[in-house]
Structure 1
Amino acid sequence: MIDFRYHIVSIVAIFFALGAGVVLGAGPLKGTGTELVQAQADRDRAALEQARTEAIQAKSLDKYRDDYVAKVTAGLTDGKLTNQKVAIVTMPEAEGDLANTLQESVEKAGGQVTTRMSLDSKLFDPGQRQLVEPLVNELVTADITFPTDSNTYQRAGLIAARAVLAKEANKPVDTEATKILSGLGDSKLLSVKPTPKDRATLVIVVAAKPPTPAPDNSSYTDAVDFAEGLDLGSAGVVVAGTPESAQNGGLLKALRGDGDATKVVSSVDVANMPSGQATVVFALVEQAGGKAGQYGGVDAKNGVAPSAVQAKEN
């Protein structure tokens, strides 16, 4: 991009010089226009070279930071999730690479990812609410009790949780769970791969970057409610995303603006960085202990990580 811009500047300078030569002719100002244009071209070239140098330095520093953090934190999460089963739930348009990285982080910490549930945009389409509500009521099982003040998407999250999650360990995917998966899958609201044998107790919800232009934060109200529903049916939920997701128009921004949700659901807004991936593990451990926190670098009221969990047993 920089080389291309430089060539454009050079070509413009040449035509400018030719034009100036025609206008000025061989009079007393002969050569002045060309010299001025050449001087400006030289300044532009120097500015572009400076920008190129700064971009290279910034990229190098970013790589250094990530490599340093990865080496320093290596082993810090070892064993933190031993015997813990975790499900990964991806929001519509969430990056698969981020979900893969978080799965690796869970496994390095000794945990087992039992399944990945992908939510379809149809689930949160306002025009589909008339489908979601009756389906939720149809799929409710005898062992589910909806809170009296719960709404449609909190109930939908609880129903989805009943299929692949549980508050206690070693709960199998039974016939009721299979019925729920079939109902939600046939309605194209979500998909689950692979179908797990056992239900997990913890869950990571992978947030997507907000689209451009960014939607209003209220656009994610249903998604926040769904995450609360997942929490109702599990031992803990951590919503993980990039810094963009914690800014205006992002899921984490909406979550952190909901006082009730932040009491039970944790969030990490730097999950694309090695330090953030470690923080997701620490937040899962904290969730298993019955606590929640908001962590990261963008308006994260509880700081960079749950320090008490991080220091424990290290």
Structure 2
Amino acid sequence: MIDFRYHLVSLIAVFLAVALGIVIGTTQLNGPVLTNLQNQVAALQDDKRLLEDETQELQTALDRVGSFEQAVGPALVADTLAERSVLLVVGSEEVPAETVEGVTALLADAGATVSGTVRLPAGFGDPANEAALRSYLTGPGLPPGVTPAESDDTGELLADVLADVLVVPGTGSEDAGVVPDPSATASVLAGLEELEVLSRDTSSVAPADFAVLLTAGTASGDDAEERTTAIVQLATALDARGSGAVIAGDLAAVEDGGLVGAVRADRPLSDGLSTIDNADTPAGQISTVLALAAEATGTSGQYGIGEGAQPVPTPVP
């Protein structure tokens, strides 16, 4: 009979053989596997360096284009808005200060006067403010001569009142060219500031011929849709009342929830209201000014680099 020691020795021999096989196999595989992994890492590092170099080259080229556009911008817009006035409305906290400054400078190059800058805080379009806002817009607090159109929509009431006091009626209106009473403008803006519906970035705001509404990104939060709708209503009212309005934003504003996208998705709106989708660049700021000049002739367009957008509008002679 085979005793226990034989079984024990056999088992030990088997385990030793398995262990030895694992060690030998691992030793044989480690070299090729490790070499292959090292080669892959080296290739990825090379690809990363190439992409970094390409990115740097593209950024350099983009900076050169931007510098060129900044250099030729004043010549392109020169005298296109001579002796006209423009109101700036900043509709988003995400609008860079550089964009506001760039558009302001080009408007001056175009011969226009910026009548003031109004900012729309988070309270603009907020349903929580609706009751107090409607009470003000329909109550005795409005200055004499400012009468909002009858509407159950508070956003429409607000847009109508602001258009009455912020823009000079354009051609085709019964009171074309009649400048709103400056005291009425100041009174309405002060009342709305108390309700935290808007604020003034400039010490004074006067009625203007045109309006530029600057935006960026997309609206967020539970009241995002209501806020976007209220701003679109304001832009539409300013455009209809005055000589024209332009909504200027970035590519993000074309996406769902963005102001530019909301206008472009609505054909009747986009037919009469110009939009810019690259206002955060020198080219887009030039387009903004030229789009205003085109609005003066009754021409609206969707300008920029987004899908379906037109190139920079041709300066009006």
- Residue in 2 that maps onto 1:154: 156
Report if the CA contact (8 A) 1:172-1:197 is conserved: no
| Residue 262 of structure 2 corresponds to residue 254 of structure 1 | yes
Aligned pair count reads 288
Call closer, same or farther: CA 1:82–1:170 in 2, change over 3 Å. Answer: farther
Deviations 1:140-161 (A, max 9, x none): 5554454567842232122223
Report the TM-score, using the length of structure 2 for normalisation.
0.79
- Residue in 2 that maps onto 1:82: 82
- Secondary structure in 2 matching 1:252: helix
Quick check: 67-76 or 281-290, which moved more? Answer: 67-76
Alpha-carbon distance, 1:197 to partner: 6.6
Report if the CA contact (8 A) 2:185-2:207 is conserved: no
1:36-115 aligned within 5 A: 36-95=36-95, 96-115=97-116
| Distance in 1 separating the partners of 2:197 and 2:150 | 25
Alpha-carbon distance, 1:183 to partner: 0.6
Deviations 1:29-88 (A, max 9, x none): 463343233212211211211221221122122223323334454501111111111110
Alpha-carbon distance, 1:28 to partner: 3.9
| Distance in 1 separating the partners of 2:213 and 2:119 | 10
Report if the CA contact (8 A) 2:186-2:205 is conserved: no
- Secondary structure in 2 matching 1:121: coil
Give the aligned residue type for 1:152. Answer: T
2:253 to 242, 245, 249: 245
- Residue in 1 that maps onto 2:136: 135
Report if the CA contact (8 A) 2:151-2:157 is conserved: no
- Residue in 2 that maps onto 1:208: 216
Call closer, same or farther: CA 1:216–1:176 in 2, change over 3 Å. Answer: closer
1:145-224 aligned within 5 A: 146-147=148-149, 151-167=153-169, 171=179, 173-196=181-204, 198-210=206-218, 220-224=228-232
Give the aligned residue type for 1:119. Answer: L
Give the aligned residue type for 2:93. Answer: E
Quick check: 127-136 or 246-255, which moved more? Answer: 127-136
Report if the CA contact (8 A) 1:85-1:112 is conserved: yes
| Distance in 1 separating the partners of 2:268 and 2:135 | 25
- Secondary structure in 2 matching 1:271: coil
| Distance in 1 separating the partners of 2:152 and 2:146 | 13
Q: Which segments of 5 or more consecutive residues in structure 2 lack a partner in the other structure? A: 1-22, 170-175
Report if the CA contact (8 A) 2:218-2:252 is conserved: yes
Q: Which segments of 5 or more consecutive residues in structure 1 lack a partner in the other structure? A: 1-22
Quick check: 252-261 or 30-39, which moved more? Answer: 30-39
Quick check: 25-34 or 161-170, which moved more? Answer: 25-34
Larger radius of gyration: 2
Alpha-carbon distance, 1:165 to partner: 2.4
- Residue in 1 that maps onto 2:313: 306
- Secondary structure in 1 matching 2:245: strand
- Secondary structure in 2 matching 1:115: strand
- Secondary structure in 1 matching 2:124: helix
Quick check: 285-294 or 44-53, which moved more? Answer: 285-294
Give the aligned residue type for 1:250. Answer: G
| Distance in 1 separating the partners of 2:307 and 2:158 | 29
- Residue in 2 that maps onto 1:14: none
Alpha-carbon distance, 1:115 to partner: 0.7
- Secondary structure in 1 matching 2:193: helix
Report if the CA contact (8 A) 2:149-2:160 is conserved: no
Report if the CA contact (8 A) 2:126-2:226 is conserved: no
Report the TM-score, using the length of structure 1 for normalisation.
0.80
